[in-house]
A = this chain, B = another copy of it.
Amino acid sequence: MKKTAPTASDSLLKLDNFLCFAIYSTANAVTRAYQPRLSALGLTYPQYLVMVVLWEEENQTVSAIGDRLNLDSGTLTPLLKRLEAMDLITRRRGTVDERQVLINLTDSGRSLRAKAEAVPLAIGKAFGCTLEDAKSLRTELLDMRDNLIASIETRDQPA
């Protein structure tokens, strides 16, 4: 029984060689790792990110939050409605530009911040890398992300 020699195409479709899969499965693991601590605050991981953005700056439009998190209104609108239903944020139409919806924190939303500050500290260790490693990894990932986004935007330009 003769075995076929490894071909070039073998290495092309090996899961273990995929950087994309490393990113994908690490992202899933991240949200799973955050979940127990965030559910103690009543938040999902994407909801937590939105709250972080709002704790940095209030009175932001849906688009501004979307630019920060790379998410569109199709994702954010229902998510923000849930945060509003939890009484963490308010949503009101802009007065100068009525197309915009301005998002603000409620008192509950503002006070949740104190509890949220414990989360990154608690999770930090689980990553199992030094702060310097984390920092350089973060930079490399964000560069790559921006490259990927640029490649998407270039691709579908009209000729």
Interface of A is mostly: helix
Whether B143 contacts A140 by the Cβ 8 Å rule is no
CB nearest neighbor in B for A154: B126
Q: Which of B34, B116, B151 contacts A126 (CB 8 A)?
A: B151
CB nearest neighbor in B for A123: B20
Q: In the assembled complex, which residues on chain B have CB atoms less than 8 Å from the CB atom of A133?
A: 140
Tell me how many chains of this kind the complex includes.
Answer: 2
Q: Which of B18, B19, B30 contacts A24 (CB 8 A)?
A: B30
CB nearest neighbor in B for A125: B151
Whether B127 contacts A22 by the Cβ 8 Å rule is no
Residues of A whose CB lies within 8 Å of any CB of B are: 9, 12-15, 17-34, 36, 45, 49, 52-53, 55-56, 68-71, 113, 116-117, 120-121, 123, 125-129, 133-135, 137-138, 140-145, 147-149, 151-152, 155-156
Whether A23 contacts B56 by the Cβ 8 Å rule is no
Known: A19-B138, A32-B152, A127-B147. 9 other contacts (CB 8 A): A17-B138, A19-B127, A23-B30, A23-B141, A24-B27, A25-B145, A26-B27, A36-B156, A128-B148
